[in-house]
Amino acid sequence: MSEPLIQLKQMTKTYGKGLAAMQALCGVDLTINSGEFVAIMGPSGSGKSTVMNILGCLDIPTTGSYFFQGIEVNTLSRNQRALLRRHYLGFVFQGFNLLSRTSALENVELPLIYRGMPTAERHVRARKALDIVGLTGWEDHSPAELSGGQQQRVAIARAIVTEPTVLLADEPTGNLDSARSREVMEMLCAFNRDLGITIIMVTHEPDMAEYAKRIVHFVDGLIASDTLTEQKP
């Protein structure tokens, strides 16, 4: 596995057609290796979410190509991309996107159900994931009964329960106060360090970006800078 985990080559993304066309990405080259922890920063509208959607195989680039473990994602069908998401990717959405009126445990179980895991094993894995994010004892609570920080932790548990190759997080701390944000970031660092999960995270806050090993700056659909952070001792 000498090839990089993720490789973007001269990738562009245009929304709409004709006069209304809006070029969100204007030729992005980016290579991310296994085990990295990358923070993506940039002003609003610079194309951060767009690049995340493409990295997450939810969308395909207009031109250029995206290789995931050497596979060109553009050539995959809708279903093949769904399977790729199912087996390799974990998502933490900005708005949590938990199922309402559904217990924390059932929320976390969801990706495992789609993987077709037997009930008993599924329960064990989901409980373990909730335990990792520090929500033991909250399994039977629905999102409405949880605080914002707890909801975000359920969303993280749901993303890591499958032990994905890559964890994609679009502003995971966007809705949280700084203490809660730090908790979440510590957690992501731990996954990166202990489980070897590659993490790509969008954030507006420089404090949070500090936790990552590498910071990529986007401006107007282009990469403006790509720097490694000096690691804390």
Partner 1 sequence: MIWNALLLALREIRRNLLRSALTTLGIIIGIAAVIIMVTVGNGVTAKVGEQISSLGSNLLMIRAGGRGLSGTAVKPFSLEDAKAISQQISHLNAVAPSASKSTTAIFGNKNWSTTITGITEAYIIATNWVIGDGRDFSPSELRSGAMSCIIGNTVWRELFEEQAALGSKIRLNSLSCTVVGILKAKGQAFGRDQDDTILIPLRSFQRRIAGNQDVSMISVSVDDGFATEKVQKQTQQLLRDRRHIAGNEDDDFFILDTKEITATLTGTTKILTSLLGAVAAISLLVGGIGIMNIMLVSVTERTREIGTRLAIGALEREVLLQFLVEAMVLSCLGGFLGIVLAVISSIIISKVIDVPFILDLGIILVACAFSAAVGIVFGYFPARRAAQLDPIEALRHE
Ligand X SMILES: Nc1ncnc2c1ncn2[C@@H]1O[C@H](COP(=O)(O)OP(=O)(O)OP(=O)(O)O)[C@@H](O)[C@H]1O
Residues within the interface to partner 1 (CB under 8 A)? 53, 56, 58-59, 78-79, 82-83, 85-87, 89, 91, 93, 97-102, 106, 110-111, 113-116, 158
In the complex with partner 1, which residue's Cβ is closer, 82 or 189? 82
Q: How far is the CB of 22 from ligand X (least distance, A)?
A: 5
Residues 40-79 that bind ligand X (CB under 6 A): 42, 44-50
Is residue 217 a contact point for ligand X (CB under 6 A)?
Answer: no
Is residue 190 a contact point for ligand X (CB under 6 A)?
Answer: no
> Looking at the chain, which runs of residues are DSSP E strands?
6-15, 22-32, 37-41, 63-68, 71-72, 89-92, 166-170, 198-202, 214-219, 222-228
Q: How far is the CB of 191 from partner 1 (least distance, A)?
A: 18
Q: How far is the CB of 82 from ligand X (least distance, A)?
A: 19
Backbone angles phi, psi at 27, to 5 degrees: 95, 80
Report CA-CA distances (Å) from 10 to 7, 22, 31.
10, 17, 11
Is residue 24 a contact point for ligand X (CB under 6 A)?
Answer: yes
Q: How far is the CB of 83 from partner 1 (least distance, A)?
A: 7
In the complex with partner 1, which residue's Cβ is closer, 33 or 94? 94
- Return the closest-CA partner of residue 43 out of 169, 201, 224, 183: 224
Query: Looking at beta carbons, which residue is closest to Mg ion?
Result: 49
- Three-state SS letters, 145-184: HCCHHHHHHHHHHHHHCCCCCEEEEECCCCCCCHHHHHHH
